[in-house]
Amino acid sequence: MKPSRHYADLAKVDRTHASLYTDPEVYQEELDRIFYRSWVYVAHESEIPHPGDFKTTFIGDVPVVVTRDAEHKVHVLINRCMHRGATVCPVEKGNTKTFTCYYHGWEYSLKGDLLAVGLPRGYNEGELDNRSLGLVSAKRVESYRGIIFSSLVAEPDISLIEKLSGIKDYIDLYMDFSPVSQIRVGASGINKHFYHANWKIQVEGSVEGYHAPITHTTAFDIMIRKMGMPSNYQTQPLKGIDARYGNNVLQIYRLPDEAVLKRWGPEFIDLLSQAHGRERAMEVLRSRFNLVLFPNLAILEYQFRVIRPMGPEKTEVRLYHTTLEGVPQRINTRRVREHEFFYSQSAFGSPDDYAMFDRIGQGLHAGMVPWVLLNRGMQTEQQDEQGRRYGGHTQETQQRAPYYEYRRLMQGAAHA
């Protein structure tokens, strides 16, 4: 089916049209062309480590259950009974041997196979085909460094490794903060936020360096005094990066070696050095960055941020705190405390962001002003041999990045 709009005219290189954030028809086409036909984040392996473990989530509007079967294989099942359509798993996570629909007792395995139905004598012999009446499975499930992605179509137009090709070095850097290169996602808590505006605003905002010293002035002042954050945020030679296929990176800051020592201590530096080598350990500890894996996952220093569209102008964001395997408890305690300081519902950071997102949602209905500007820093942007674009971290290279992929998926255009 052809798109109903010419999206290249609505998502321009330097601006986006307000209708992309408010129009219900645009939203439905985004679900179909982005969420239902490409790679989407669904879980981290640490959330389902054991046979029988499961997690419920969404791919766009579609409810799914991510399971691990007795052979340790991961499945992504549509959370919808094949009989009358009720969800078969009503809870967010747990461990089970089967899923049973509470409406009429249809029971399914961790692989989605139909095992039994309530009151089976009501069906004629041969009327129930267990093979065709199992839960529908996502067509593709793959992972990288424990991050599980799924696609509802059998042949996404690019492979997962190609999709991650411009950003996997940053994923590796994130995982190597642990001496065993392993993290746990959500084990120490989840923060849930809602805002009344489009899902793409959080995609843009997760790697937004321009607003930070303005919207978060109070938080920045405290972090500079107490947490060792460099005071020269605006003038550091940091980057915003278009890592291709909608993925992007914002460098937050780079700590000098003396600040690394003060923040993490010699014991932790030695622990990472023994695991990864001194040069790699220092690179891990110097760097702080946010990254977006388009369309629905942002990875920040202390969290996996999962973006769930709930309509053209309603979005749920779940912040899954991440802890490190193989580290002293004080390291994870510090990470939890710093996460609480900035990202919880009563913190100094996230409430500011979601208040601004609500204001954006209101302002975008001013129809006489149809464009959202994303042109900051275009004239100084650079590009490398891999096609990645670079700009200053307070420029808008990383905000423009998703819309190259957005046009490609919505319009069928080649990635530029």
- Both 174 and 213 in one domain: the answer is yes
CA distance 374 to 363: 16
- Mean pLDDT value of segment 41-67: 99
Which tokens is 124 given?
Answer: 């004629």
Higher pLDDT, 267 or 222: 267
Sign of the C-alpha dihedral computed for residues 59, 65, 68 and 74 taken in this order: negative
- Both 273 and 373 in one domain: the answer is yes
Cβ-in-10-Å burial (0-12, 13-18, 19+) of 267 comes to: exposed
- Both 239 and 357 in one domain: the answer is yes
CA distance 111 to 97: 10
Give 135's DSSP letter.
P
Which tokens is 334 given?
Answer: 């510090």
**Lowest-confidence region among 210-219, 294-303, 390-399:** 210-219
Q: What percent of the chain stands above pLDDT 90? A: 78
With CA atoms as reference, report the closest residue to 110 among 129, 128, 94, 92.
94
Q: Looking at the 3D structure of the chain, how many domains does it have?
A: 2
Q: Looking at residue 193, which CATH number applies to its domain?
A: 3.90.380.10
Confidence band for 255, pLDDT divided at 50, 70 and 90: confident
As beta bridge partners, residue 59 has 62
Q: Would you say residue 346 lies in a domain? A: yes
pLDDT at site 228: 59
Q: Would you say residue 31 lies in a domain? A: no
- Both 188 and 266 in one domain: the answer is yes
CA distance 177 to 285: 7
- Mean pLDDT value of segment 178-197: 95
pLDDT tens, position by position, 75-98: 999 999 999 999 999 999 999 999
- At 323 the three-state DSSP class reads strand
pLDDT at site 171: 98
Confidence band for 243, pLDDT divided at 50, 70 and 90: very high
pLDDT at site 230: 59
Of 143, 178, 212, the domain-final residue:
143
- Both 79 and 202 in one domain: the answer is no
Q: Would you say residue 22 lies in a domain? A: no
- Both 133 and 202 in one domain: the answer is no
| pTM for the predicted model, two decimal places | 0.95
Distance of CA 234 to the CA centre of its chain: 26
pLDDT tens, position by position, 299-347: 999 999 999 999 999 999 999 999 999 999 999 999 999 888 888 888 8
Alpha helix locations (H) across 305-368?
329-343, 350-363
- At 33 the three-state DSSP class reads helix
- Both 189 and 227 in one domain: the answer is yes
Confidence band for 125, pLDDT divided at 50, 70 and 90: confident
- At 282 the three-state DSSP class reads helix
Q: Would you say residue 26 lies in a domain? A: no
Which strands form 297-300's sheet, in the order they lie side by side? 183-195, 315-324, 303-309, 297-300, 287-293, 248-254, 239-242, 389-392, 382-383
- Both 134 and 180 in one domain: the answer is no
- Both 177 and 240 in one domain: the answer is yes
The phi, psi pair for 118, rounded to 5°, reads -70, 140
Q: In angstroms, what is the C-alpha Rg of the chain?
A: 22
Higher pLDDT, 219 or 170: 170
pLDDT at site 415: 42
- Both 362 and 250 in one domain: the answer is yes
Biggest alpha carbon–alpha carbon distance for the chain = 76
Q: Would you say residue 34 lies in a domain? A: no
pLDDT tens, position by position, 159-182: 999 999 999 999 999 999 999 999
- Mean pLDDT value of segment 204-230: 81
Give 381's DSSP letter.
-
pLDDT at site 414: 44
- Mean pLDDT value of segment 284-303: 96
pLDDT at 194 over 50: yes
Which tokens is 202 given?
Answer: 């959080």
Q: Looking at residue 107, which CATH number applies to its domain?
A: 2.102.10.10
**Lowest-confidence region among 123-132, 216-225, 283-292, 340-349:** 216-225
pLDDT at 17 over 70: yes
Q: Would you say residue 94 lies in a domain? A: yes
CA distance 15 to 7: 12
Peptide bond into 295 cis (omega under 30): yes
CA distance 303 to 343: 9
Of 109, 143, 177, the domain-final residue:
143
With CA atoms as reference, report the closest residue to 305 among 322, 324, 320.
320
| Type of residue found at 12 | K
Of 92, 109, 143, the domain-final residue:
143
Give 137's DSSP letter.
B
Q: Would you say residue 344 lies in a domain? A: yes
pLDDT at 257 over 60: yes
pLDDT at site 416: 41
Q: Are strands 389-392 and 382-383 parallel, antiparallel or unpaired?
A: antiparallel
- Both 192 and 290 in one domain: the answer is yes
- Both 102 and 196 in one domain: the answer is no
CA distance 141 to 74: 8
Higher pLDDT, 411 or 126: 411
Domain range for 361 = 162-411
